Amino acid sequence: MIDLHCHLLPGVDDGARTLDDSLAMAQLAVSEGISHILVTPHHNNGKYLNPKEAVLEATAALQSELDDRGIGLKIFPGQELRINGEILEDIEKGDILFIDDEEHYLLIEFPTMSIPHYAESLFFKLRQKGITPVIVHPERNQAIMDDPNILLPFIERGALAQVTASSYVGAFGKDVAKLSHQLIEANLVHVIASDAHNVRGRGFHYKKAFTQLEADFGSEQVAYFHQNAKNLLNGDVVHTEPPVEVSTKRKRIAILSKVKKSFLTGMRRNDS
């Protein structure tokens, strides 16, 4: 299996702190059935800077350590790039690492609480250059949690998205797990990745996630996600299914129920 989002490099962000941490994570990944990992340290998120050359050097060093210890894991250099207004300039300067060597796919992270107003314009310009943004863990973005259909126009216009294995299996709570399921069901996400940071609370959860995916959606969905991960890493075309709206009927009913209850309570107070 291929993991396209993992904080495996030691001492560069909030993932593995030491080489021993990286090796422990690598061994756990192999035990989960993962054979290839795109290492994706945070870049330009306001706290961490991991420029291209530094990531290339760190990835080569870690691969050498894995090989020396007989850990059967192949790693590739990447970045989890926080969306910002300088992305196009940084790409032109050669400072950005893509998912694939052909530079067709780019991992992009939204801020935790919102989606910047310029995101659609930026994505349009990236698509004009033949670059497809892959939105990481949309299920943990508060704006999308509040209204999942905010994601829909991004996907309709050619972006892809990645759901996190631990989100899907409930490690971030029931609401995030439910939203992950809904996004898969609505064809709004196209690949599962681990976003693993350590071997404890932020592990891989790959076996559990794909077992659950098969139970929820069938073996064809499992094969589809595996193929998408392979295509992204190789720079090949990802075939997508038409996205649809996530049903928010229950949410609207709950809101209307609260409004009605508040209205009736006010009437009773006015009558007394």
155-168 residue pLDDT tens: 999 999 999 999 99
pLDDT of residue 268: 44
Q: CATH number of the domain at 2-271, out of 3.20.20.140, 3.90.1150.10, 3.40.50.720, 3.60.20.10?
A: 3.20.20.140
pLDDT of residue 132: 98
pLDDT of residue 249: 65
Q: What is the pLDDT along the chain (272 residues), one digit of tens a residue?
A: 999 999 999 999 999 999 999 999 999 999 999 999 999 999 999 999 999 999 999 999 999 999 999 999 999 999 999 999 999 999 999 999 999 999 999 999 999 999 999 999 999 999 999 999 999 999 999 999 999 999 999 999 999 999 999 999 999 999 999 999 999 999 999 999 999 999 988 999 999 999 999 999 999 999 999 999 999 999 999 999 999 999 876 544 343 444 344 433 443 444 43
Q: Where are the domains of the chain?
A: 2-271
Prediction pTM value: 0.90
pLDDT of residue 264: 39
pLDDT of residue 201: 85
Q: Are 140 and 176 contacting, i.e. CB atoms less than 8 angstroms apart?
A: yes
